[in-house]
């Protein structure tokens, strides 16, 4: 099985994909990608060459109109029975936490492997990473909820989309066509969460 890890940098793909052949696509040459390319240009790659696309906390770095281009690129590189595993910050959960707990923009929200994440980091990008890298492409340019992510994937052509949320994150597993139950079970997304 082949996977394209889009914008993953040095962060490994989840353990459920152990044994897959993974190519890293990234815009930053410093992370040593297999494919040095802006995700908005994925339609220039050969079509139908990957069984999966993995994109963790990538889509929010594009403006709303660019998200559609990136998702169509995901669709383009996937095989007929391929899927995209997409994870984005859940902006609605962040807003809820701010309102419920009286948080400020510089208030701590949660601890990540990269360090503490504040409200402003979840909304506009991890400020420590932006400052350290000096790269503006690490800033967030759009936000998602379960509904907006699901609609964006549907508009890109994905027919079967499973969604789940938790810990300030929305995860979607989007298939070109309805998968069998075994594949859904392996990916760890329940069918009632469509």
The tens digit of pLDDT for each residue in 31-74 reads: 999 999 999 999 999 999 999 999 999 999 999 999 999 999 99
Whether 122 is covered by a domain: the verdict is no
Residue 189 has pLDDT above 80, yes or no: no
Whether 29 is covered by a domain: the verdict is yes
d(CA 164, CA 93): 12
Whether 156 is covered by a domain: the verdict is yes
Whether 94 is covered by a domain: the verdict is no
pTM of the model: 0.92
Q: How far from 134 is each of 113, 131, 183, CA to CA, in Å?
A: 20, 5, 40
Residue 93 has pLDDT above 60, yes or no: yes
- Confidence band, pLDDT 50/70/90 cuts, at residue 190: low
Whether 112 is covered by a domain: the verdict is no
Q: Rounded mean pLDDT of 89-106?
A: 97
Whether 161 is covered by a domain: the verdict is yes
**Residues 6 or more apart whose Cβ sits within 8 Å of residue 78:** 48, 50, 51, 52, 53, 84, 176
Q: Rounded mean pLDDT of 130-139?
A: 88
Q: What are phi and psi of 179, to 5 degrees?
A: -85, 170
Q: Rounded mean pLDDT of 71-100?
A: 97
User: What sign does the CA torsion over 95, 151, 15, 123 have?
Assistant: negative
Tell me which residue range forms the domain holding 187: 2-89+127-193
Whether residue 66 contacts residue 40, with contact meaning beta carbons closer than 8 Å, is answered with yes
Q: What are phi and psi of 82, to 5 degrees?
A: -75, 170
CATH code for the domain in which residue 184 is found: 3.40.50.150
In the chain, how many domains are there?
Answer: 1
Whether 186 is covered by a domain: the verdict is yes
User: What are the strands, taking DSSP E only, across the chain?
Assistant: 2-6, 21-26, 35-36, 50-56, 78-89, 108-112, 115-118, 160-166, 169-175
77 burial via Cβ count (<10 Å: 0-12, 13-18, 19+): buried
> Which of 7 and 10 is assigned the larger pLDDT?
7
Task: Output the six-digit token pair for 46.
Answer: 């050969």
Whether 95 is covered by a domain: the verdict is no
Q: Rounded mean pLDDT of 127-144?
A: 91
- Confidence band, pLDDT 50/70/90 cuts, at residue 21: very high
Q: Rounded mean pLDDT of 129-158?
A: 94
Mean pLDDT of all residues belonging to the chain: 93
Helical pair 146-155 and 64-77, crossing angle rounded to 10 deg: 60
């Amino acid at each position: 099985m082949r996977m394209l890890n889009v914008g993953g940098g040095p962060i490994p793909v989840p353990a459920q994909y152990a044994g897959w052949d993974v190519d890293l696509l990234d815009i930053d040459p410093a992370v040593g990608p297999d494919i040095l390319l802006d995700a908005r240009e994925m339609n220039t790659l050969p079509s139908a060459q990957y069984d999966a696309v993995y994109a963790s906390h990538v889509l929010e770095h594009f403006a709303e109109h660019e998200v559609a281009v990136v998702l169509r690129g995901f669709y383009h590189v996937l095989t007929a029975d391929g899927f995209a595993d997409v994870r984005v910050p859940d902006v609605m959960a962040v807003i809820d936490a701010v309102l419920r707990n009286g948080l400020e923009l510089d208030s701590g929200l949660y601890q990540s492997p990269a360090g503490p994440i504040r409200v402003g980091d979840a909304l506009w990008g991890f400020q420590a990473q932006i400052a350290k890298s000096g790269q503006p492409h690490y800033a967030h340019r759009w936000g998602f909820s379960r509904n907006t992510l699901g609609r964006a994937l549907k508009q890109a052509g994905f027919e079967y989309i499973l969604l789940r949320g938790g810990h300030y994150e929305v995860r979607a597993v989007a298939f070109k066509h309805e998968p069998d139950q075994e594949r859904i079970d392996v990916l760890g997304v329940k069918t009632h969460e469509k």
